Amino acid sequence: MGSITDVKGVLVGNYEDLENLTGATTIIIEKGASSGVDVRGGAPGTRETDLLKPENLVEYVNAIYIGGGSAMGLEGASGVSRYLEERNIGFDTGVKKVPIVSGAIIFDLAIGKPVYPDIQAGYMAAKNATDNFNANGNVGAGVGATVGKIRGMNFAMKGGLGTESIKIGDIVVGALVVVNALGDIYDFDNKIIAGALNDGKNGFINTEEFILKTQTNEVPFKNTTIGVIATNVKLSKSKLKRLAIISHDAIARRIKPSHTIFDGDTIFTLSTNEIEFEDLLTLGVLFENVLENAIINAIKYAKTIQNIIAFEDFKV
């Protein structure tokens, strides 16, 4: 099994609050990485995404932050900035280096206690960063992640964090994703493996069919799937933007429905700019495939908590 840290220069660190069931994950690129972003969900919570637009000044980011706690959890990104500032890492303004930390949050306040990762949590996630990360499930920002919430938490299942990588010759593409979706998760045989449960909790209702049948527009909890895909291929911000757009197909194929008004689905793309490769068509397929596999890993390695059943304990 691969990891986003298989891309040389990419580090991952996590903070976990296992008592209150929330957490944070930080992807650090100390030397900086070109970056793009595409936000497709209707309920996003983001930080420093406008600067990633191709027409804007800053060319590199130093970190991507993913946190629980809804909008309040964005505070954790300031802890990442503080950690990087102490190490003189950031955009050189001529006065001092300012760390560039983009990020996004998930809504996990409905599980555990309604707390959020603060500045110290973000700092600890950054401090824990390693170039040898390979964990899935209830990790970092995935601690409080859940899926299949159209009927509320009593019928939801456990989501989580997943990572994976693909290597073709010298090309390396790695993904990390936190799956906290309103919808159901589908495997590569187009079968639901996690999602909204039926009354007996021994099968799935099929969220899309439930929506069409009930025409419900009252979802008690917000959601979000956040992906980060990194590569060592040299790419401009505009190409990374295009790859972020393309990569949302992975979310659409594995999560149904996706990009809803109640999801904040967001994908960040990163390049460490090490090797030349001009085939954007091939890269698009690689980005999609690696994110799909990371989504599946997030679900299959999740653990049951607080009666929120996980894939490994669910028997249809």
62-119 confidence digits (pLDDT tens): 999 999 999 999 999 999 999 999 999 999 999 999 999 999 999 999 998 999 999 9
- Going from N- to C-terminal start, the domains of the chain cover 4-313
- Give the pLDDT mean for 140-147: 98
- For residue 172, give both structure tokens: 């390396």
Give kind and range of the element (H or E) at residue 104.
strand 101-105
List the beta bridge partners of residue 172: 167
pTM: 0.96
List the beta bridge partners of residue 175: 164, 229
What whole-number distance in Å separates Cα of residue 120 and Cα of residue 48?
20
Categorize the per-residue pLDDT at 123 as very low, low, confident or very high, splitting at 50, 70 and 90: very high
270-313 confidence digits (pLDDT tens): 999 999 998 999 999 999 999 999 999 999 999 999 899 999 99
Q: What CATH architecture is 4-313?
A: 4-Layer Sandwich (3.60)
Quick one: pLDDT at residue 1? 84
Q: How many CB atoms lie within 10 A of CB 289?
A: 16
User: What's 254's DSSP letter?
Assistant: H
Categorize the per-residue pLDDT at 221 as very low, low, confident or very high, splitting at 50, 70 and 90: low
Quick one: pLDDT at residue 219? 66
For residue 277, count CB atoms less than 10 angstroms from its CB and return exposed for 0-12, middle for 13-18, buried for 19 or more: middle
What whole-number distance in Å separates Cα of residue 201 and Cα of residue 316?
9
